[in-house]
Structure 1
Amino acid sequence: MSAATTRRSGPAPPADPAVRDAPAAVEDPVHPRPAGHTRVTAVLFDRDGTLVEDVPYNGDPEQVRLLPGAEESVALLRSAGIPTAVVSNQSGIGRGLLTDADVRRVNDRVDTLLGGIGTWVYCPHLPEAGCPCRKPRPGLVLEAARRLGVDPRSCVVIGDIGADVLAARAAGARAVLVPNAVTRPEEVAAAPETAGDLLTAVRRILTGERGERP
């Protein structure tokens, strides 16, 4: 990942120390949350299937469609002064189906529709590359927290599949799963916290509630 702190992310070369030194294990949090540590300092969203409709390997900004509640959710966090980020696997780059410029154009479109996300971080690598940034590993979460200047242990990661939950746990962050049609039943069952929709998840974060367990 680029070490620069910018609103737009770039691909994440393994040479970046923030990624290279990230732990590979995902079974347990790297930084266990201290007792009583509940203040949320940032919310990190998955992109496809969470904020926007999942169009496989989409490189066309015209195909971007926000999911219900996405715009309001980001606006609520913005009004509460809570920074936001997007953490997204984009293996289409590694597969040769997308270019970095394609992903940036799509991200820019989403950013415009949502009124501005704090920072964008994505992994361009193939699943078999074994990079530490690709979810379910913690690199994207750790880098987003670094860019926002917050402790990853005080972040909440919202996503729609198990890899989002595992990446959050591996970074010591709180995870909220918002299931959809592609979420596997075993991913829902394993999630520490779920919400029926994105807006419900964000409202609970803002009120200090914990979502239901599956």
Structure 2
Amino acid sequence: MNAEYVTYALVTVIAVAVLTAVVVGIVSLVRFLFRLFTVPGVVVHEFAHKQACDLVGVPVLEVAYFRFGDPPGYVQHVTPERYRASFVVSVAPFLVNTVVAFAAFLGLAALVATIGDLRTVSNGTIAAAIVLGWLGLSIGMHAFPSTGDANVLWNRSRAEWRGSPRVLLGIPIVVVIYIANLLLWLWANVLYAIGLFVLAAWAVGLGPL
């Protein structure tokens, strides 16, 4: 009887270990595929940071437009001397990613508007629609500045508002960034990207979706 209990226990342990390995493997695969899906968004986000640094004259120390790590991309730069430069560098991805994602969705909406009978749609049209949708969704999802960007602006605002009260005008932007990042668990970034597509569809007169 004791041998049977030992056998049952061993089988149970092995089953749990195998199940755990399978679940971990599936989760890792999903994360890997999701990271691949968001490559364009990460690249455009970091590219916007880099170009903003160049625009306001902030020296860049190191750039990673995409990597399989955490964070998936980054731009290391020296601390800007002026608040305005910090503001431009921090919010640049929101503007750039939004514009690029909206342009991709405009292309997608315009393409969909030209489709008549779905049975006659060419493979090239389908492929173009998939690519445009992928780019728009991925890039739109990464439009929100990170909490790190918000922290930079918040710290600069607290340190400089007495000498330059104008920096207080940036606080509402900081609050919005914090709220947006808190709502990421509700897929706020995905909803934002979908909202851009709805707006693009409306702009080309695609009608209710």
TM above 0.5, one fold? Answer: no
Greater relative contact order (Cα < 8 A, sep 6+): 1
Which structure carries more helix by proportion?
2
TM bucket by the smaller chain?
A: under 0.3
TM-score, length of structure 1 as denominator length: 0.27
